[in-house]
Structure 1
Amino acid sequence: MRNVTLETLYIHPIVQKYVGRSGMAHAVSVAEKAFEIARESGVNPDLATKAGLLHDIGHYEWYQDGEWDYQLYKENDIHAIKGAARAHKLLVRCGEDLQNAKAIALAVLLHTDSYLPEGELQLTPLQKVVALADEADEEPGGNHHYRQIDHDTALRRIQILDKKINKYIASLRFEQTS
């Protein structure tokens, strides 16, 4: 049983505000890609899609003279750090299992290496899924953050994804009892 659905997160005012300003179309697309990659990789798709949806919740708006300054963003960004804390707090408040909330927050934290010092991290399978899903949806110059999606379309795609997750989880339970 899932404590928190994607729809619960999507309609939450915190998600609407912070994910909305960093690109809701991108977030929904990353969640969908995370589902597919997770399923193929044997990773929990519920956790992967939640981390995919929330991965950019920590973005700050880097504007200069009314225009997004991608270079300023790339040089100064630490959105994954802020996003991990924001995602964790939101998930806990919404009633997510505490261990799941931590795993999702860590996947948000490590979905990008743009703020990390040189070197290699050993990512968990969940963290790899979210990073791959984000990379698969990126566009040059940060253009993926500019794609638009209307609320009804985004909500419908989130609801479809929730149904896919529920069906996947039910099929695993069936396999275990067979």
Structure 2
Amino acid sequence: MRDVTLVQIFDHPITQKYVKRSGMAHAIACAYHAFKLAKEYHVNPDLAAKAALLHDIGHYTWYRNGKWDYSLYKENDIHAIKGAERAHKLLIRLGEHPKAAKEISLAVLLHTDSYLPKGELHLKPLQKVVNLADEADEEPSGGHHYRIIDDDKARIMLAKLDQMIEDELNKEEQKGED
């Protein structure tokens, strides 16, 4: 049994404000990618989908002269740091188990290395899944952040993914009982 669903996360005003700003269609696509990748990497699909849904919750809008400036964003953005904090606070408020909230938040923090000095970062499987899910949906010059999705369609897609996660977790639980 899950403490918090994707639909509950979607419906929260913090998600509506910050994830919409960074691209709800992208966030939902990443959640689906993460669900699929979770099997391959032996990761909890619930944690993977939640982290992928929230991975860009920390975005700031980088504008210059009233227009989005992608180069300014690439040069100065630390959205993963702010996102990890926002995701953690949101999940705790919604009633997520603190350990799960921490794991999800760390995956949000490490979904990109764009803000880190060049080097090699060794990701845990959940963190790798969220990174790969994000990369799977990226478009040149940040185009993935501008795709639009209607709220009703978004809620339907997330409810469907919630059910897929429940089914997968139930299957895993039954395997463990056998």
Name the counterpart of 2:9: 9
Task: Name the SS of the counterpart of 2:144 in structure 1.
Answer: helix
The Cα of 1:12 is off from its aligned counterpart by 0.5
Per-residue CA deviation, residues 120-158 of structure 1 (Å, 9 max, x unaligned), is: 111100000000000000000000001111101111110
In 2, the alpha carbon distance for the partners of 1:130 and 1:74 equals 20
TM-score, length of structure 2 as denominator length: 0.98
Q: Give the AA of the match of 1:30.
A: C
Task: Name the SS of the counterpart of 2:23 in structure 1.
Answer: helix
Per-residue CA deviation, residues 79-131 of structure 1 (Å, 9 max, x unaligned), is: 00000000001111111111110000000000001000111111100000000
Per-residue CA deviation, residues 1-30 of structure 1 (Å, 9 max, x unaligned), is: 100010110110000000000000000000
Name the counterpart of 2:86: 86
Structure 1, unaligned runs of 5 or more: none
The Cα of 1:162 is off from its aligned counterpart by 0.1
Say how many residue pairs are matched.
Answer: 178
Per-residue CA deviation, residues 23-80 of structure 1 (Å, 9 max, x unaligned), is: 0000000001000001222110000000000000000001112211000000000000
Task: Name the SS of the counterpart of 1:119 in structure 2.
Answer: coil
In 2, the alpha carbon distance for the partners of 1:159 and 1:66 equals 36
Q: Give the AA of the match of 2:114.
A: S
Q: Give the AA of the match of 1:125.
A: P
User: How many percent of aligned residue pairs carry the same amino acid?
Assistant: 64
In 1, the alpha carbon distance for the partners of 2:175 and 2:41 equals 17
Q: Give the AA of the match of 1:163.
A: Q
Is 1:109–2:104 an aligned residue pair?
no
Within 5 Å, give how 1:56-75 maps onto structure 2: 56-75=56-75
TM-score, length of structure 1 as denominator length: 0.98
Task: Name the SS of the counterpart of 1:96 in structure 2.
Answer: coil
In 1, the alpha carbon distance for the partners of 2:148 and 2:66 equals 18
Structure 2, unaligned runs of 5 or more: none
